[in-house]
Amino acid sequence: MNRRTVHAWLLVLPAVALLALFTHYPMVATIWDSFHATPRAGHPGAWVGLENYQVMAGDEVFWRSLRNNMIYALATVPVSIALALAMALWVASAMRGRTWLRVAFFTPTILPMIAVANIWLFFFTPQYGLLDKAMSLVGSGERNWLGSPQTALACVCVVAIWKEAGFFMIFYLAALQSISPTLAEAAAIEGASRGYYLRRVVLPLLMPTTLFVAVNALINAFRLVDHIVVMTHGGPDNATSLLLFHIYQVGFSFWDTGYAAALTVVLLLVLGAAAIGQFVFLDRKVHYR
Amino acid sequence: MSPARSILDKRPPTIEAVAAWLLGILWILPLAYAVWTAFHAPEYSTRFVPSAPLSLDNFRRAWEAAPFARYFLNSFMLVSGVLAGQLVLCTLAAYAFATHEFRGRDALFALVLVQLMIMPDVLLVENYATLARLGILDSITAIGLPYVASAFGIFLLRQAFKSVPRELDEAARVEGAGPLTVLWRVYVPLARPVYLAYGLVSVSYHWNNFLWPLVVTNSVTSRPVTVGLQVFSSGDQGVDWSVITAATLMTSGPLLVAFLLFQRQFVQSFMRAGIR
């Protein structure tokens, strides 16, 4: 090893050591622990093979959480992306009041998710909440929006979309800036309409951004459960339990860390699949960049 | 207006402008509602009479009901400590990845990028066990430590350092500057906008972070404001909504005010951090 190599390793060492301790080691440890029983009273957990996974297969709350998380992702990701795109096109246009709109769209992004959840919790409160007040104006009866399994997950989705759409708008704004104005001029000379230009020129050029945002939105859908803790605690009847929330409960309410490790392996597989998806898709679309 | 002009001056048709405004109002409504509730006495919390007297009483009651001063101090120490650590560690690592040729570099960099997908948030069970073994649970260090080595920061700074012209680096070396001097005098000053962008993203992320601090802290001396807010608002002493809303706005206050004052810089910084 020459001197320069030693230098380089010394420079990266602090960061790499901490990454190894808090990202790579826990990933490996999660897999290892998922084959072991939960340690009790200082005794390390015994090897149990696939037992934790057999428990998982019969755990209704796990299947419910996984299904909820899929529905949650399928509802929030496309809607936030579509809204983010519309927001970006409006904010980037020469529209009157676009600065004001940018502030309105982006502000929820700055707030802590827990603050957002508190605000919306009041919004959804039966009788006193603004939503019920508004509904009573049109003659609809009282509803416990977060308390009934039919509406609770939808309410949680609305909150996530409100919080995230403005964040994804930023990525589209950045991408729109990089589109060469000569394309618009060329389209104008050809007599193309605005709709045609957006559909045939802008949207295809934004494709890599859309994929990037989609993957990040998907990761967030599996990573962020703060609002669940505040608004519903997974209820009613597990109707809003998401995968990470279930892990949190198993790990820190029931202290069953062996089983929590097995559940985390499932979450890692989901995130890994998202990573591979991004790699494959972005690689194929790389000529757009 | 001809279609050609409408592409070039980029003014959307009226119906779209109406839709944009409706969406904007819809987006600001929950927040406006929270502000109304927080600044008025509880009897006005859902009665929107313009003549209702403004009051700071809800904020006063929230501030007195829980040790928010301490929570703010904790959050402040957490955010500044994490940022300071991140800036040093990410700068050094990014410098090596951007400018040094060394064996194992690409494999190591790929390992670093794993953290972009698998953030410490999802590994909370194992990280909790690690911190328990280190004996530092329930401390501000415990909240921040897993985030100090940030793949995102290393990635952003590496991109920035790579765009620094090679000639500047060589000129400094000819004048006898060592590697760290070159980093400090040439690379860091040129990457200043990236540092600003990364700093804003990092500060807002850690000020707002909730689940991990909730798991590792259980005392007043280490809880950040987000966890403090949750402890306060889920308490069973029956605090009323106006006070909870005031506390909610208070905890988001510093970032919100900073954003409204410097919103253009905020948006530009987030855009810069978003282009990878």
How do the residues of chain A divide into helix, strand and coil, expressed in percent and rounded to 5?
A: 75, 0, 25
Q: B271, A173: Cβ pair inside 8 Å?
A: yes
Residues of B in contact with A8 (CB under 8 A): 96, 100, 102, 105
How far is the first Cα of chain A from the last one, in angstroms, to the nearest whole number?
38
Is B5 inside a domain boundary?
Answer: no
Residues in A closer than 8 angstroms to B204, CB to CB, are 110
Q: Which two tokens stand for residue B152?
A: 């995102």
Cross-chain CB nearest to B31 (options A1, A27, A119) = A119
C-alpha distance from A152 to closest chain B C-alpha (Å): 18
> Is residue B1 in a domain?
no
Distances (CA, A) of B38 to A159, B21, B208, B225, B226: 20, 25, 20, 18, 18
Tell me, letter by letter, the H, E, C secondary structure of B99-160: HCCCCCHHHHHHHHHHHHHCCHHHHHHHHHHHHHHHCCCCCHHHHHHHHHCCHHHHHHHHHH
| Residues B162, B30 share a domain | no
Instruction: Out of B8, B9, B244, name the one closest to residue A118 (CB).
Output: B244
Beta-bridge partners for A158: none
- Nearest neighbour of B148 by CB, restricted to A11, A12, A18: A18
Computed from CA positions of residues B80, B86, B88, B89, in that sequence, does the dihedral angle turn out positive or negative?
positive
Give helix then strand counts, H and E, for chain B: 16, 0
Supply the pLDDT for residue B10: 63
Nearest by CB to A27, from B6, B118, B207: name it. B118
Contact predicate A91/A165, CB 8 Å: no
B93/A251 CB distance under 8 A: no
* Rounded Cα distance, B26 and B100, in Å: 51
Give the separation between CA B83 and CA B72, rounded to whole angstroms. 16
- State which residue of chain A sits closest to B94, comparing Cα positions: A12
Q: B230 and B126, same structural domain?
A: yes
| B265 and B140 together in one domain | yes
3-state class (DSSP) for residue B51: coil
Q: Indicate whether B73 and B20 sit together in one domain.
A: no
Task: Please give the residue range of the domain that contains residue B49.
Answer: 12-55
d(CA A194, CA A212): 25
Residue at B23 is within a domain:
yes
Question: Is residue B254 located within the same domain as residue B229?
Answer: yes
B28 part of a folded domain: yes
pLDDT at A13: 94
Q: Is A41 left (phi over 0), alpha (psi -120 to 50) or beta?
A: left
3-state secondary structure of A40: strand
For residue A27, give the chain B residue with the closest CA: B123
Q: Which residues of A274-285 are buried (b: 16+ CB within 10 A; e: fewer)?
A: bbeebeebbeee
Inter-chain CB proximity B274 and A197 less than 8 Å: no
- pTM for the whole thing? 0.89
How many CA atoms lie within 13 Å of A30's alpha carbon, on the beta-carbon side? 28
Residues B69 and B126 in one domain: yes
User: Which chain A residues are within 8 Å of B124, Cβ to Cβ?
Assistant: 247-248, 251
Asked if B8's CB is within 8 angstroms of A33's CB, the reply is no
Q: Which chain B residue has its CA at the smallest distance from A177's CA?
A: B271
| Whether A194 and B252 lie within 8 Å, measured CB to CB | no
**Same-domain check for residues B70 and B36:** no
Is the Cβ pair B17, A194 closer than 8 Å? no
| pLDDT given at position A287 | 42
User: What pLDDT is stored for residue A145 in this prediction?
Assistant: 81
Looking at the DSSP bridge assignments, the partners of residue A100 are none
Domain count, chain B: 2
DSSP three-state, residue A47:
strand
The verdict on B32 and B75 lying in the same domain is no
**Residue B41 shares a structural domain with residue B121:** no
Residues 6+ apart with CB under 8 A from A235: A152, A241
Per-residue pLDDT at B237: 58
B7 occurs within a structural domain: no
- Which single residue is written with the structure tokens 């795109």? A85
Question: If you measure CA to CA, which chain A residue comes closest to B4?
Answer: A188
Buried b (16+ CB within 10 A) or exposed e, A93-106: bebeebeebbbbbb
Assigned token pair, B141: 């260090």
Q: Is B33 domain-assigned?
A: yes
In this structure, the answer to whether residues B51 and B67 fall within a common structural domain is no
Which sign, positive or negative, has the C-alpha torsion B122, B127, B132, B136? negative
Return the SS3 of A43: strand
Nearest CA in chain A to B273: A171
CA distances from A253 to A24, A56, B122 (A): 25, 17, 16
Give the Å distances, CA to CA, from B99 to B67, B106, B121, B272. 48, 13, 31, 22
Record: contact A192-B3, CB cut-off 8 A:
yes
Task: Spell out, as residue ranges, where chain B has pLDDT lower than 70.
Answer: 1-10, 236-239, 273-276
| Tokens encoding A66 | 């996984």
- The identity of residue B13, as a single letter, is P
- On whether residue B269 sits in a domain, the answer given is yes
Residue pairs between chains A and B whose CB atoms are closer than 8 Å:
288
Residue A63 CB partners (closer than 8 Å, separation 6+): none
Nearest CA in chain B to A113: B208
pLDDT (tens, 9 = 90+) of chain A, 289 residues, equals 677 888 899 999 999 999 999 999 999 999 999 999 888 877 788 888 888 999 999 999 999 999 999 999 999 999 999 999 999 999 888 888 888 998 899 889 889 999 999 889 888 877 667 777 777 777 666 778 888 888 899 999 999 999 999 999 988 988 888 888 888 888 888 877 888 888 888 888 888 888 888 988 999 999 999 999 988 888 788 999 999 999 999 999 989 999 999 999 999 999 998 888 877 776 555 444 3
Q: What is the pLDDT of residue A289?
A: 36
- Rounded to the nearest 5°, which phi and psi values hold at A216? -65, -40
Residues of A in contact with B245 (CB under 8 A): 118-119, 122
The answer to whether B259 contacts A107, with C-beta atoms less than 8 Å apart, is yes
CB-CB neighbors (< 8 A) of B127 in chain A: 22, 26
For residue A36, the SS3 value is strand
**pLDDT computed for residue B225 by the predictor:** 94
Q: Give the separation between CA A201 and CA A248, rounded to whole angstroms.
A: 45
Which of B211, B217, B244, B249 should one mutate to test binding to chain A, selecting the residue with the greatest count of A CBs within 10 A?
B211
User: What is the CATH number for B269?
Assistant: 1.10.3720.10
A236 upstream amide cis, omega within 30 of 0: yes
The nearest CA of chain B is from the CA of A215 a distance in Å of 9
| β-bridge partners, B54 | B40
Q: Does B208 contact A112 at a Cβ distance shorter than 8 Å?
A: yes
Instruction: For residue A212, list chain B residues with Cβ-Cβ distance below 8 A.
Output: 276
B6 within domain boundaries:
no
Looking at residue B185, the DSSP 8-state letter turns out to be I
Cα(B223)–Cα(B246) distance, rounded to whole angstroms?
19
Residue B179 sits in the same domain as residue B220 = yes
**Could you tell me the domains of chain A?**
51-288 (1.10.3720.10)
3-state secondary structure (DSSP) of residue A225:
coil
Residues B114 and B218 both lie in one domain: yes
The number of angstroms, rounded, from the C-alpha of B94 to the middle of its chain's C-alpha atoms is 21
Chain A residues touching residue B114 (CB < 8 angstroms):
23-24, 27
pLDDT digits (tens, 9 = 90+) for A33-64: 999 988 887 778 888 888 899 999 999 999 99
Are the beta carbons of A191 and B3 separated by less than 8 Å?
A: yes
